[in-house]
């Protein structure tokens, strides 16, 4: 079942089209990622989905609510984590969370319980009376996420949640998001980190210059560029003298030696391991490892979008955030 359906969505800033007639849906319970470089239109899209910015054209349906017409109602089931924190500098973590909870109408006892629980879950329970402004970037981001889920939203929207923070905090945030998702929260996340999209997302949309150029599960995206199946074998003995023999025995596979002990078989069809293993066994060749070789998501991204990944990260780190 789809929890989000977006059709023909467009965002214009005067004459400039930042989001150009995009459409996608998000299934209940999945982690859906928007992956794209600086200026691709990720923030403009998430801001329209969450009501932080006006839709120029198109429709957004969230949990059967027409979010263009009834955004307030749709927002009740959303958690929104913007790219910049919206918390109060002078308040400590507990006070900030209690304040957010009060905005959702939670009773004092309930909000204090929830605030304490989240501080503990996010590893911020030892910050005491420290005001938000004295938090590190990673701590700030964690508290901002905790505030965004204070009301147990059904769907969480996060705009680049790990950009510009330390590696350990980023790892903790990904773990927390995984836990939330395992407990049933649907997640929409924008990122320019390919590894992050690969680690977290069930499905990914590649967005470039305001347009979605591809959507799929990681396997589907990989298949897009991988025209042949590849299996790599590593033998304990050398492989140089078996090339001709294998090619003769298994003529439908293409054979390539990658180093002294390793070779690869390529085929348009599935490669069946059993007959190969039996063949090697009969010949007294010990297989040390047999593994399926898949392209990396980075290769897929570069091939589909034509954007060099190193360029994407550099632009971003030197960019506005």
Ligand X SMILES: Nc1ncnc2c1ncn2[C@@H]1O[C@H](COP(=O)(O)OP(=O)(O)OP(=O)(O)O)[C@@H](O)[C@H]1O
At residue 13, φ and ψ (nearest 5 deg) are -110, 100
User: Nearest approach, Cβ of 214 to ligand X (angstroms)?
Assistant: 16
Residue with smaller CB distance to ligand X, 46 or 150: 46
Told to check if 18 binds ligand X by CB under 6 A, we report yes
Note whether 164 binds ligand X by CB under 6 A.
no
Cβ of residue 34: shortest distance to ligand X, in angstroms? 8
Radius of gyration of the chain (CA): 24
Q: How far apart are CA 95 and CA 101, in angstroms?
A: 10
* Binding string, residues 34-73; x marks residues near ligand X by CB under 6 A: --x-xxxxxxx-----------------------------
| Closest CB to ligand X among residues 30, 159 | 159
Residue 24 CB, shortest distance to ligand X, in Å, is 15
Residues 62 and 26: beta-carbon distance below 8 Å:
no
Residue 191 contacts ligand X per CB under 6 A: no
Which listed range, 31-39, 125-133, 217-225, 284-292, lies at the site for ligand X (CB under 6 A)? 31-39
**Nearest CA to 3 among 39, 37, 27, 36?**
27
Is residue 141 involved in binding ligand X (CB under 6 A)?
no
- CB 62 to ligand X: min, Å: 19
DSSP 101-139: HHHTT--HHHHHHHHHHHHHHTT-TT-TT-BGGGS-HHH
Q: For ligand X, which is the closer residue by CB, 227 or 320? A: 320
196 contributes a contact to ligand X by CB under 6 A: no
CB of 273 to ligand X, least distance (A): 43
Report the C-alpha gap between 157 and 180 in whole angstroms.
12
Residue 158 and residue 178: Cα distance in Å, rounded?
A: 13
Instruction: Determine whether 8 is exposed, middle or buried from the number of CB atoms within 10 Å of its CB (0-12, 13-18, 19+).
Output: exposed
Report which of 185, 189, 167 is spatially closest to residue 82, judged by C-alpha positions. Answer: 189
Smallest gap, in angstroms, from Cβ of residue 41 to ligand X?
5
Per CB under 6 A, which of residues 237..266 are in contact with ligand X?
Answer: none
| Span interacting with ligand X, options 10-18, 57-65, 172-180, 231-239, rule CB under 6 A | 10-18
To which H or E segment does residue 61 belong? Answer: strand 57-62
Q: How far is 5 from 22, CA to CA, in rounded Å?
A: 11
Neighbour-count burial of 282, counting CB atoms closer than 10 A to its CB (0-12 exposed, 13-18 middle, 19+ buried)? exposed
At its nearest, how many Å lie between ligand X and the CB of residue 223? 26
Binding residue count for ligand X, defined by CB under 6 A:
13
- In Å, what is the CA distance from 160 to each residue of 72, 97, 193? 23, 21, 9
Return the residue of 16, 90, 168, 274 that touches ligand X, per CB under 6 A: 16
Stretch that binds ligand X, among 32-40, 111-119, 211-219, 245-253 (CB under 6 A): 32-40
Q: By the criterion CB under 6 A, which residues form the site for ligand X?
A: 13, 16, 18, 36, 38-44, 319-320
């Amino acid at each position: 079942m789809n929890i989000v359906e977006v059709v023909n969505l467009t965002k214009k800033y005067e004459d400039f089209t930042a989001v150009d007639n995009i459409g996608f849906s998000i299934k209940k319970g999945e982690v859906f990622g928007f992956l794209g470089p600086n200026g691709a239109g990720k923030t403009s899209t998430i801001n329209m989905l969450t009501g932080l910015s006006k839709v120029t054209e198109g429709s957004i349906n969230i949990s059967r609510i027409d979010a263009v017409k009834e955004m307030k109602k749709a927002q009740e089931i959303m958690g929104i984590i913007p790219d910049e924190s919206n918390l109060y500098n002078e308040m400590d973590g507990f006070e900030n969370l209690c304040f957010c909870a009060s905005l959702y109408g939670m009773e004092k006892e309930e909000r204090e319980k929830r605030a304490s629980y989240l501080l503990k879950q996010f590893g911020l329970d030892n910050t005491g009376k420290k005001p938000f402004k004295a938090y590190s970037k990673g701590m700030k981001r964690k508290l901002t996420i905790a505030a965004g889920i204070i009301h147990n939203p059904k769907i969480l929207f996060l705009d680049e949640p790990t950009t510009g923070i330390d590696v350990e905090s980023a790892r903790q945030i990904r773990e927390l998001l995984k836990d939330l998702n395992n407990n049933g929260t649907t997640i929409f996340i924008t990122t320019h980190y390919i590894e992050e999209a690969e680690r977290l997302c069930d499905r990914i949309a590649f967005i470039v210059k305001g347009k979605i150029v591809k959507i799929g599960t990681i396997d589907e995206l990989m298949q897009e560029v991988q025209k042949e199946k590849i299996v790599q074998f590593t033998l304990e003995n050398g492989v140089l003298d078996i090339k001709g023999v294998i090619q003769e025995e298994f003529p439908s596979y293409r054979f390539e030696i990658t180093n002294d002990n390793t070779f690869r078989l390529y085929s348009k069809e599935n490669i069946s391991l059993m007959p190969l293993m039996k063949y090697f066994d009969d010949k007294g060749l010990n297989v040390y490892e047999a593994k399926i070789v898949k392209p990396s998501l980075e290769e897929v991204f570069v091939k589909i979008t034509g954007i060099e990944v190193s360029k994407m990260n550099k632009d971003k780190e030197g960019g506005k955030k």
